[in-house]
Amino acid sequence: ENKHEEKVQDPDREKDKPKADMGSKTWADLAGEMKIFLWNPEERTCLGRTAKSWGLILLFYFIFYTCLAGMFAFCLYVMLLTLSPYTPRFRDRVSPPGVMIRPYLNGFTIAFNVSHPSTWQPYVDSMQHFLAAYDDKVQEEKNIECVPGQYFIQGGKDSEEKKACQFKRSLLQNCSGIEDPTFGYSRGQPCILLKMNRIIGYRPGAGVPVSVDCKVQKGNESHLRSVDFYPGNGTFDLMYYPYYGKFTHVNYTSPLVAMHFTDVQKNYLVPIQCSLNGKGIINDLNSDRFLGRIIFTLSIGK
């Protein structure tokens, strides 16, 4: 009945002859034991188990893991059922918004020589590529014109397709690449586009458009003498918000602010920080240097 009693009655144990000390085993003995362990021809066991025993144990684990995998899948399925496909349950980790710039090639240093087009051409190509989606024609085709100065709130069901506001690249004026296809790079007055990260349902600025400003980050302030902002003095118009998510807000194009660095010290590495300003925007978090601001370096050679 009881295992312990069984042990007591087990007569074999008395007869166990003491083996040689553990320590005095030679390598040859060990190798021999290993071989027996790997394949014991007498008892026809491999790794201490017979074929039947292996079969049983493998079958057990197969069933065990199948059930476990089933339970895992079921739990995930139930969890996913509770989620809305259009809006994530929590958005506390993704807001307030982060900031990115274009052109972005490899790193946050934009360095070129005006006299060597090959040094700035990649930036220009990147900008052109990025702005293709903002072509006036494309925007007019896909998106609607909205009322500036107020949030474009769309009611209806979550699953309903949402309309997106037009953001035409012509709004970027000197930085639109329409008049100057080199975005000022050929003149040493580069344009850099700044975009705010998309957050579903987020209404930046709480009624007042978020604006952008730039300054020299740690260094001689006089190195950055003038920056032009487009559109509208560097603000993100309220009408582009809120964002409704990629499934319903299919044609949404992030609004941009173009920064035209018209007078930057040449032949210097000028570190520049451009920040968002507005209610609810955080731009001074030490640990996150992309939250509400962005730091990049301009190095413009002659």
Partner 1 sequence: GLSSARAAEILARDGPNALTPPKATPEIVKFLRQMIGGFSILLWIGAGFSWISFGIQLAQGTDSAFDNLYLGVVLALVVILTGIFAYYQEAKSTNIMASFSKMIPQQALVLRDAEKKELPADQLVVGDIVEIKGGDRIPADIRLIFTQGCKVDNSSLTGESEPQSRSCDFTHENPLETRNIAFYSTTCVEGTATGIVINTGDRTIIGRIASLASGVGNEKTPIAIEIEHFVWLVAGVAVSIGVLFFIISVSMRYRILDSIIFLIGIIVANVPEGLLATVTVSLSLTAKRMAKKNCLVKNLEAVETLGSTSIICSDKTGTLTQNRMTVAHLWFDNQIYSADTSEDQTTQPFDQSSPSWTALSKIVTLCNRAEFRPGQENLPIMKRVVVGDASETALLKFSEVILGDVMSIRAQNKKVAEIPFNSTNKFQLSIHETADPHDKRFLLVMKGAPERILERCSTIMINGKEEPLDSEKAEAFQTAYMELGGMGERVLGFCHLYLPENEFPETFQFDTDSMNFPTSNLCFVGLLSMIDPPRSTVPDAVSKCRSAGIKVIMVTGDHPITAKAIAKSVGIISATSETVEDIAKRLNIPVEQVNRREATAAVVNGMELKDMSSEQLDSILREHAEIVFARTSPQQKLIIVEGCQRQGAVVAVTGDGVNDSPALKKADIGIAMGIAGSDAAKNAADMVLLDDNFASIVTGVEEGRLIFDNLKKTIAYTLTKNIAELCPFLIYIIASIPMPIGTITILFIDLGTDIIPSVALAYEKAESDIMNRRPRNKRKDRLVNHQLAVYSYLQIGIMQSVGAFVTYFTVYAEQGFLPSTLLGVRVHWESAASNDFEDSYGQQWTYYQRMYLQWTGYTAFFVSITIQQVADLIIRKTRRNSIFQQGLFRNKVIWVGIFSQIGIAAILTYGLGHVTALNFTPLRFQYWFVAVPFAILIWVYDEIRKLLIRRYPGSWWDKNMYY
| Tokens 């349902």 -> residue | 201
Residues in contact with partner 1, counted by CB under 8 A, come to a total of: 63
C-alpha 17 chain-centroid distance:
66
Contacting residue, 33, 247, 267, 279, with partner 1 by CB under 8 A: 247
Contacting residue, 241, 243, 261, 296, with partner 1 by CB under 8 A: 243
- For residues 298 and 260, the answer to whether their CB atoms sit within 8 Å is no
* Complex with partner 1: residue 170 or 273, whichever CB lies closer: 273
Please list every residue from 172 through 211 that binds partner 1, using CB under 8 A. Answer: 195, 197-200
Q: Please tell me the distance from the alpha carbon of residue 16 to that of residue 198, in angstroms, as a whole number.
A: 75
User: Considering the rule CB under 8 A, would residue 27 count as an interface residue with partner 1?
Assistant: no
User: Considering the rule CB under 8 A, would residue 24 count as an interface residue with partner 1?
Assistant: no
User: Considering the rule CB under 8 A, would residue 288 count as an interface residue with partner 1?
Assistant: yes
Decide: helix, strand or coil at residue 101: strand
Q: Please tell me the distance from the alpha carbon of residue 152 to that of residue 164, in angstroms, as a whole number.
A: 9
The two tokens of residue 295 are: 């730091």
- For residues 190 and 138, the answer to whether their CB atoms sit within 8 Å is no
Please provide the distance, in angstroms rounded to a whole number, between the alpha carbons at the two ends of the chain: 94
User: Considering the rule CB under 8 A, would residue 18 count as an interface residue with partner 1?
Assistant: yes
Name the one range near partner 1 by CB under 8 A: 16-24, 34-42, 148-156, 157-165. 16-24
Contacting residue, 57, 59, 144, 147, with partner 1 by CB under 8 A: 57
User: Considering the rule CB under 8 A, would residue 111 count as an interface residue with partner 1?
Assistant: no
**Least Å from the CB of residue 250 to partner 1:** 9
**Least Å from the CB of residue 158 to partner 1:** 12
Question: Cβ atoms within 10 A of the Cβ of 94, count?
Answer: 14
- Give the CA distances from residue 35 to residues 45, 125, 275, in Å, rounded to whole numbers and listed in that order: 11, 66, 70
- For residues 167 and 255, the answer to whether their CB atoms sit within 8 Å is yes
The site for partner 1 (CB under 8 A) is made up of: 1-8, 10, 13, 16-19, 22, 56-57, 60-61, 64-65, 68, 71-72, 75-76, 79-80, 83, 86-91, 93-94, 97-100, 104, 106-108, 195, 197-200, 243, 245-247, 249, 252, 285, 287-291, 294
